[in-house]
Chains A and B, each alone.
Chain A
Amino acid sequence: MNVIESGIGELIQPPDMDAFREWNRKKHKALVDKRMSEQEAVSRFIHDGDYIGTELYGTVRCPMSLTREIVRQGKKDLRIAGQGVLELDLLLAAGLVKKIDLTYIGLEVYGVSNALRRAVESGQVESVVEWSNGAITWRFKAAAMGVPFIPVRSMLGTDTLKYSAAKVVECPFTGQKVCLLPALILDVGIIHVHRADKYGNAQIDGISGFAFELARASKHLIITTEEIVSEEEIRRYPDRTIIPYYLVDAVVEAPFGSHPGEMCYLYERDEEAIQEWVEASKTAEGAQAYLERYVYGVKNHQEYLELIGQERLEHLKAIVKGRG
């Protein structure tokens, strides 16, 4: 195939599909209890320099309790796949990110991410490689398919492609130009779900974002869940289990694990808490003070929830909108 153009961005995590197959073959398939705390999951499965990915994003079904634990343990030189809001902001503010495959890091209605601005404009982040949201997800999809790349029709003709690690080739069937995206295999994927059993069979309500693809593109997978339910309960609705247990290494019970973000049908986003980060993150000192209070200053997720307060959490449950 004739390569017409190559992005100049670094291929941060080169795909090795045969090694991934070997890895998956060796992965334990026994039904063992994988329940553990955030502390244990992070210390066992996340290492300095790892390439990690989180799902969904920031204010929506996001593994925030686990993100705070990563910051607490100071796992550094992380390489990340960046579709994020609050979660990646915390990692950036704590100075833990070395390289980013970036699609969007911002605060949505509240504008740009000042944590990203500081980390990139100062040169603290060594490598920033551009992608579209579709592209990042299709890269996970390629890994999930077990193929080294996937052809798409996004990114063509733009600087997004030029500063990515994608390639443009002539399609061998049609002769048209197509963009090839390299598969992206994560060292560790982290997904927050509505319910899982102790083995890791996991179910999500509402939109599934890119959980299906990310789960299948991860060598290690940590599931945090609003509740642990029985295996019997899970097996009653197998059609809803988008993540089977053998993909999963750790199951962490984390009620309000997405706070200050939302969990559809369970609790609303905590606007006040989100705005607190928006304000605090405007300066490096403010961000640091926020981390002191909400991350380093509490031992674990339980203490974090106590700091937020039961009354406020109950309110977020009370105002959630149902299925209509």
Chain B
Amino acid sequence: MAEEYNPTELLICIAARLMEDNTTAFIGTGIPMLAASLAQKMHAPNLIPIFEFGGTGGSLEDLPLAVGEARTFYKAVAASGICDIMETAARGFIEYGFLGGAQIDPYGNLNSTVIGDHKQPRARLPGSGGANDVGSLCWRTIAIMRHDRRRFVEKVDFITTPGYLTGPGAREAAGLPPGTGPYRVVTNLCVLGFDEATKRMKLLALNPGVTLEQVIENTGFELVIPEHIGHNEPPTAEELRILREEVDPNRLYI
């Protein structure tokens, strides 16, 4: 009998499994921090978390509540500044970048700027922050999203952060570094990737208990559905123990 877990715990475990040891990952507030911490304690002790205001290679023993705070460079290899971090990404040193947003489209373009018109928005959101830099300059970006039709839309109201823009070749045509772009989208329902030929979002694996119909129903655009669909394993007892006892013992996020 598998242990009970909540949707946030599942998201964290799936995101953590995507992080390899001895790689660099640009980490933002929230689930990516927990995932990076879990990965460090499981299979990737030398995962190098990089925070935009300067923390590099810190030990995520305590959860940071902000991307600039002291916990982002606790026992770190370096504590520099935002230029150094963004320039490290621009030079091709950062493999993974984690992103989120209010809306995502089939090409992985993300909106975190406005809902509605820019001049007179229905909702003014925080803006790019470091997201545009991450989406432009990291090799492979991973978006973490809640999965529903309001968020998974055919066309985002505002492209804050570039995915594959309008499709194959569009990033390169815009001047973005070749070989970069969206890699995975991790949601409460499934893990998605991107079709090689069309650069459109493609279903890769369903989360435990989730059906294909549920994914389709909650997506506001047509997904590429491959012949073989994988299944994500539920969190293991070990993952849950570390997550609850070591990563977030005060239950700030989970």
**CB-defined interface of A188-224 with B at 8 Å, one 1/0 digit per residue?**
0000000000000000001111111100000000000
Given A104-B127, A133-B52, A321-B70, are A158 and B160 neighbors across the interface (CB < 8 Å)? yes
**CB-defined interface of A95-137 with B at 8 Å, one 1/0 digit per residue?**
0000000111110110011001100110100001011111101
Given A133-B130, A134-B133, A178-B175, are A264 and B69 neighbors across the interface (CB < 8 Å)? yes
A117 engages B175 (CB within 8 Å): no
Stretch among A46-54, A56-64, A283-291 lining the B interface: A56-64
Q: Which of B66, B74, B118, B174 contacts A60 (CB 8 A)?
A: B66
**CB-CB < 8 A to A179: which residues of B?**
175
B127 engages A105 (CB within 8 Å): yes
A137 to B87, CA, bound (A): 11
**CB-CB < 8 A to B183: which residues of A?**
none
Q: Which of A57, A82, A138, A262 contacts B86 (CB 8 A)?
A: A138
A210 to B53, CA, bound (A): 8
Stretch among A68-76, A149-157, A301-309 lining the B interface: A149-157
A207 engages B81 (CB within 8 Å): yes
A130 to B158, CA, bound (A): 11
A154 engages B70 (CB within 8 Å): no
Task: Check: B137 CB closer than 8 A to any chain A CB.
Answer: yes
A265 engages B70 (CB within 8 Å): yes
Interface size on B, residues (CB 8 A): 60
Give chain A's interface secondary structure class. mixed
Measured CB to CB, the residues of A under 8 A from B are: 56-61, 82-83, 85, 102-106, 108-109, 112-113, 116-117, 120-121, 123, 128, 130-135, 137-138, 141, 152-160, 163, 168, 176-179, 206-213, 262, 264-265, 269, 271, 320-321, 324
Measured CB to CB, the residues of B under 8 A from A are: 29-30, 52-55, 59, 62, 65-75, 79-83, 86, 89-90, 109, 113, 118, 120-133, 136-137, 158-162, 165, 170-171, 173-177, 252
